[in-house]
Amino acid sequence: MQHVAIANLMLRRFLKSTHGAVIVEFAICVPVVLLLYVSGTGLSDMIACDRKVAIATRSLADLVSRTMSPAVIYNNAQSTTAQSYLSASAVVLSPYRLDNATEQISLLRVCDATHAYVVWTQAQTQNADGSTVTATTSNQTAGTLPTNETQSASNVVSIPSNMITSPMVPVSPDGSNVCGNLAPGDANKTQVGTAGGWLFRSQVSYNFTPSVSLVTFPARTFSDTIYMVPRLY
């Protein structure tokens, strides 16, 4: 019985003791705090990358609209290149790996309040440091004007209506919607792509892979698109 009493006494003392409580609490809190820190770091990285994509897209549209003439591009689209501007916009994404990014620029000619004809388009990727550039397929299809031939309906794309003012929309003499006039026009019909206001469309996309491995953040693609009226004609 004496042994039982001693054991009960020791147990009561152990239960009342607070020595080492901080260590126990610290051990419990560390995983939670570490998880919150790593999660916050990963989320911040995603937000920063998304912001970089938006800035790069705006930079591309701004550079091209200030320095490239729509009329010159229209008359010599096959020889037009915006590689230097595409590469410059990619540099804006630093310190993120540039080989995960695709830059694209297109010249559009408005044919009604919500559609435009693709005059010219160019897209590229690059290696991780941007020193090697590779042309890639654009997600838009450029037409063949000013060649005198019927254009494809795939050359006409949707555009935001809030970008368009009335003077930018061409008027066909016969009252038809210019977007549907794909065949070479005559005196009564304005062919798509031969009249109307101009827009540059820039798009940058980035395949983001989280660098944080302790938390499962899914890989995702950040993309932004900006339309801008050219400064040169």
Q: Of 231, 205, 228, 215, which Cα lies nearest the Cα of 56?
A: 205
Per-residue model confidence (pLDDT) at position 29: 72
Helix, coil or strand: residue 187: coil
Q: How far is CA 134 from CA 51, 98, 124, 129, 233, in A?
A: 24, 12, 6, 13, 29
Tokens for 226? 């900006």
Give the single-character DSSP code of 165.
-
| Angle at which helices 83-91 and 21-67 cross, to 10° | 160
Share of the chain above pLDDT 90, in %: 68
Between 32-36, 86-90, 225-229, the lowest mean confidence (pLDDT) is in 32-36
Residue with tokens 């010219």: 120
In sequence order, what are the beta bridge partners of 227?
A: 201
Using one digit for the tens of pLDDT, what is the confidence trace for 130-161?
A: 899 999 999 999 999 999 999 999 999 999 98
Tell me the C-alpha distance between 144 and 166, whole Å: 26
Question: Which of 4-18, 19-33, 123-137, 176-190 shows the lowest mean pLDDT across its residues?
Answer: 4-18
Q: What integer is the mean pLDDT of 18-38?
A: 68
Residues in the chain, total: 233
Asked if residues 150 and 182 have their Cβ atoms less than 8 Å apart, the reply is yes
Evaluate whether 110 touches 170 at the Cβ level (below 8 Å): yes
Q: Which of 13-17, 28-32, 224-228 has the lowest mean pLDDT?
A: 13-17
- On the question of pLDDT at 215 being above 60, the answer is no
CB distance 209 to 219 below 8 Å:
yes
